[in-house]
Amino acid sequence: MTIRVLTGITTTGTPHLGNYAGAIRPAVRASEQPGVDAFFFLADYHALIKCDDPARVARSRLEIAATWLAVGLDPERVTFYRQSDIPETTELCWFLTCVTAKGLMNRAHAYKAAVDQNEAKGVEPDDGVTMGLFSYPVLMAADILLFNAHKVPVGRDQVQHLEMARDIAQRFNHLYQGDFFVLPEVQVEEEVATLPGLDGRKMSKSYNNTIPLFEGGAKALRGAISRIVTDSRQPGEPKDAEASHLFTLYRAFAQPDEVAAFRRELETGLGWGDAKQILGDRLERDIAPMREKYNELMANPARIEDILQAGASKARKLASPLMARLRDAVGLRTLSAGPAAGKGAGKKAAKDARFVSFRDTDGSFRFRLLAADGEELLLSDSHADPKAAGALMRRLQQADVQLREQADGVEILLEGAVVARGPGQADKVRQALDSLRQE
């Protein structure tokens, strides 16, 4: 079974060494495993919640995209896209917003933290709280549910948002009586490498203690390493490797035999200056080839844009059909599809085969024939006019059609011309069409 895994990267900063070791490197390696269908996206809508500096957001989108590609993310193997290039994301976000209880959002950790801070300051509880901050768990749910991801790797601080996404999906499925969404499973990253920064605390932009990954080149990397805080032990004095930030950083990148050798040198009196030189050499060995690719990409943003647009097109081929089905479910059908059933008839409608019309990414109009369980049986050819697509749906319900079995599915012919194709069995397609004619 293929497992779909989805990861979002908020575009508000420049990746540093800690980001690479803790999140980027393991995510890229995981995407290369067999049976994994990986989705990576630049969460630039989420960035607007945290940052109101447009230049910073724009720069971060470029730097983060270049970083992921430079470290080995294969856009041919994974689906790599920008959140803002998928209009179905915001449409689904609104659908989900309309079924999400305000009380659920009241319990979100980020919102509660903001309220607590305001109360501590003696100001209004919602002072400075935007609707973006308040309801961003719904946007996060839309990111996940749009592609029916099975697993979402997150840190423990994000577990609540995954639980909310499950709650929202269940609410929608129940309200509209269908299995529209997979309930995503949280994948807690327990083994994430947390690198120490220059001062020994967790490497973080908030602490201003980061080591650059690519920005500033080898000089900036060496300069940061030279500022790592060490103890006062002189050359010749044994060092405690386990208590050394230098050793922790080295161990995150070196092979076991290299780690053992570095430990021995520290414990037999290696000077801190020489230790920093060894750490710099080891990091440069890994980072230099990636930095070269990063610089090439940064110098050619059009190439990155092409990759992201190709990824968006790939993503929308999945997103558009789902949104067509959801529009049908909530009653936002094209008029040619017939009147919407009342809510009392929802359960019966959910059990029947049905046509679902939609507008494709190229602007043309198509429809699908779905079985009672939601399985896609047929996909029509494209039509420039929605009326033509609607007329063809009616003909398929009224006329005897010819079904032609192929090695990879079935074709539907009218007057000798193929008008729709599907991956299903001919008998199942025929039964679905017969059920529609009997309505």
Residues making up the binding site for ATP: 10-12, 18-19, 155-157, 195, 202-206
The residue with tokens 């049905």 is 354
Strand segments (E) across 127-204: 151-154, 185-188
Q: Give the C-alpha separation, 271 to 273, whole Å.
A: 5
Side chain identity at residue 36, one-letter code: V
C-alpha dihedral, 210 to 253 to 269 to 271, nearest 10°: -40
* Strands in 101-160 per DSSP E: 151-154
329: nearest Cα among 351, 344, 350:
350
- Identify which of 233, 225, 168, 156 has the alpha carbon closest to the alpha carbon of residue 194: 156
φ/ψ (deg, to 5) at 422: -160, 160
Two tokens, residue 420: 């729709």
* CA distances in angstroms from 407 to 182, 368, 378, 380, 423, listed in the order given: 30, 20, 15, 18, 9
Residues ≥6 apart with Cβ < 8 Å to 434: none
Give the integer Cα–Cα distance in Å for 30 and 21: 13
Q: Is 128 helix (H, G, I), strand (E, B) or coil?
A: coil
Rama region for 148: left / alpha / beta (φ>0; ψ in -120 to 50; rest): left
Sequence ranges of the binding site for L-tryptophan: 143
SS3 of residue 245 by DSSP: helix
The residue type at 143: D
Give the residue carrying structure tokens 């208590």. 243
Distance of CA 421 to the CA centre of its chain: 30
Per the CB < 8 A criterion, the answer to whether 353 and 371 are in contact is: yes
Is 434 buried (19+), middle (13-18) or exposed (0-12) by CB count in 10 A? exposed
Looking at residue 384, what DSSP letter applies?
S
368 is written with which tokens? Answer: 């699908």
Distance CA(128)–CA(131), nearest Å, equals: 10
